[in-house]
Each structure stands twice: as structure tokens, then as C-alpha cells.
Amino acid sequence: MEDGKPDVLLDVSAAVPASGGVVRVTVAGRGQAAERLAMDVAELVRTAVAQALASGPALAAMPEEAIAASPPEANNEALAPAPAHQAPTDPVTAAAPVFAAPAVAAAHPKPWFQRHRSRISGAVGLFLIALALMIPLLVPVSMRREILPMPIGLGLAGAISLFSALLPEPQRGHARTKSQVRMALPVKTDAKAPALRAAPAITKPQSFTRRVIGLSFGGALALAGLIAPFALPNVSADDRFLMMLGFAPIALIGVFLLWVFLRRPPALAAPAQSAAPRGTRSGAALTGASGALAALGVMLGLVVALVVLATVLPLLNAQP
């Protein structure tokens, strides 16, 4: 791959005779993410055309081989100016609504560990956190100080793994895909355009169950991160300080999860927002600032809570 040219390219045009419009899907990108996306789109087109072939005689003239050849393959060699692998560019007559059918996205030729990544990450995360909680209870009291970094590290790794498992699917996809994905939708606008425009956004909305699980985990992690440093009695102030610093990432991840899942569900299928003009504060900038303010609010809340606790606890202990 050289000069930033794409090593995966898929270009499919489909004419819709009923409306006179043309649907054109172009995927151009680099690396495995683009390859996967191109395969998904190709699979979607192939299924749609196959369904249309089965349902009507309109596509009888289209050769079956050309449709089957649509999934691209990655080209690891240096690219020539021409696309490395191009799907048939002949107009394919297909019924437009078929593109919107969510069922076509079900066929994923991914390895099993990719398909079950969330479950694997969740299980590993839970296992690591369980280990982190068990170790201080199992080892002798005299050795607790020496083994302290171990549960902290395990807890941190477990929290990150859980966080990865709970991250909503679309966000994870956005984070790792940098390929150029362009959807050139009907050149000639018609009444079916809105349906077609919505079709590419095959996303899984944040379900109620997912939110509840996310909030529960977030709350549990936040509480665990806050309470764990106080679980061991007879610890010096310096050790407690180090334990709190060590468990802080777990609490922060928990707070972050709470923040993510408490937000209004994002409109994932909505078209991307237009970029802010130069010289103005972008949406990302505002998000960063509000994140900082939220973090500050949490910090102040904790400070107030701790001051109250520090004032009340000695009074309670003083009672006979």
C-alpha cells in the first residue's frame, strides 16, 4: 500500500426501473476494517439481488456470476491507479426497499472470537476483577502490602476489559474504522430516497436491557473503586493513599460508564453532523469541556462527601 491509496474498493451501481433512480454504493479504504466493510456491503447487495431474482423476472437478464463476484478481496500489493478489485459496474435492477432489510446484515463471515468479542471481554473482565478482589482476602495479612500492586493491576485490566465489552457496538466500529466510506445515494431523487438514505445505517440501538446492564456495571465499578481502598483495616495513611490512587481508574471507568449509559440514547442512525466552521468551538470541544465539568462535579461531590464522612465518623467512633 502506497501513498494512501485504497487497497479495497467496491463500487456497485443499481438502477431502479420503477422510479428511474440509480443507487450507487462505493466503499474505498485501507486495511482490514475496509475489507470487512466492503465484504458486508457486497454481501448486502448480493443478498438483495438474489432476493429480487427469486421474487421477480426483472433481473433475469443479469448474469449470476457477476452478482456472486461482488465480495472484494484485499489487495496487499502496491496499488495501481486502477482499483484493485472492482465489483460489476453494470446497472443492476433491484427493488430499492430490499436494501433496508436488516436481515441481510446477519451473515458475518467473521471468526467466532470476533463474533463473541463482547462476551469474551466481559468474562475475562469479570474473572480478573474477581481475582483482584480475592487476592487480598486469601493472602496472609503480613503480605498484603507487598502484593498490593497485583490486585490493583488485575482490577484495572479487568475494568478495561469490561468497559470494552460494554461499549456499544457502533461506537467501537467508528473507533477502529478510518476507511473512507462513501454512499452516493440516488442521483435522481425520487419518493423512495428517504428509505434508501436510511438503509446504510444498520445499527443496533442502545436497548433498555443494555442500559440497565451498563448502569449496573458502572455503578458496581464506581462503588468498588471507591470502597475497595477502605476494605483493609489498619492500613497507614500513605498505604491508603496509594491504594486509592490505584483503584481510582476503576472508579473513574465506573463513573464514565454511568455517564455513557445515563445519557440520552444517541441517534446513531442520524446522518453525521456538519463540521463546525473554522474558529468556532466544535462539538468535540464542547463535549470535552462538559466532560471536564462533569468530572469536576464528581470531584467536588466526593470532596464534600469525604469531608462529611471525616467529620461524622470520629463522632460515631467516640460513642461508647
Partner 1 sequence: MAFSFVIGLLTALVSGAFAWIVLTRYFQRRGAHMLMWGLGLVLYFIAGATEALLAFGWNEIAFRLWYWSGAIMVAAVLGQGTLHLLVRKPYVAAIFSVAIGVVAVTSLVWMLTVPLDASKFLPGDDLGKFLTESYRSILPQSPVRRVLPPVMNIYGTILLAGGAIYSAYLFARKRVLPQRVLGNTLIAVGGILPALGGSLIKLAETTPTLSEWGSVIKYLGIFVGLVVLFAGFQVTASVDRRALNGGR
Helix boundaries (H) for the chain: 31-55, 64-68, 112-115, 117-138, 144-147, 149-166, 169-176, 193-198, 208-227, 237-262, 283-318
Nearer to partner 1, 22 or 244 (CB): 244
Block residue for cell numbers 468530572: 295
What distance in Å separates the CA atoms of residue 88 and residue 24, rounded to the nearest whole number? 12
Q: How far is the CB of 236 from partner 1 (least distance, A)?
A: 8
- Amino acid at the residue 49: V
Sign of CA dihedral 60, 62, 66, 72: negative
Nearer to partner 1, 201 or 244 (CB): 244
Residue numbers at the binding site for partner 1 (CB under 8 A): 236-238, 240-241, 244-245, 248, 252, 284-289, 291-293, 295-296, 298-299, 302-303, 306-307, 310-311
Nearer to partner 1, 137 or 307 (CB): 307
Q: How far is the CB of 34 from partner 1 (least distance, A)?
A: 27
Nearer to partner 1, 56 or 288 (CB): 288
What distance in Å separates the CA atoms of residue 215 and residue 217, rounded to the nearest whole number? 5
CB 276 within 8 A of CB 282: yes
Question: Which phi and psi angles does 27 have, rounded to 5°?
Answer: -120, 120
For residue 236, with 0-12 CB atoms within 10 Å meaning exposed, 13-18 middle and 19 or more buried, which class applies?
A: exposed
Nearer to partner 1, 94 or 152 (CB): 152
In the chain, how long is the greatest CA-to-CA distance? 94
Q: Angle at Cα 64 formed by Cα 58 and Cα 65, nearest 5°?
A: 150
Nearer to partner 1, 140 or 314 (CB): 314
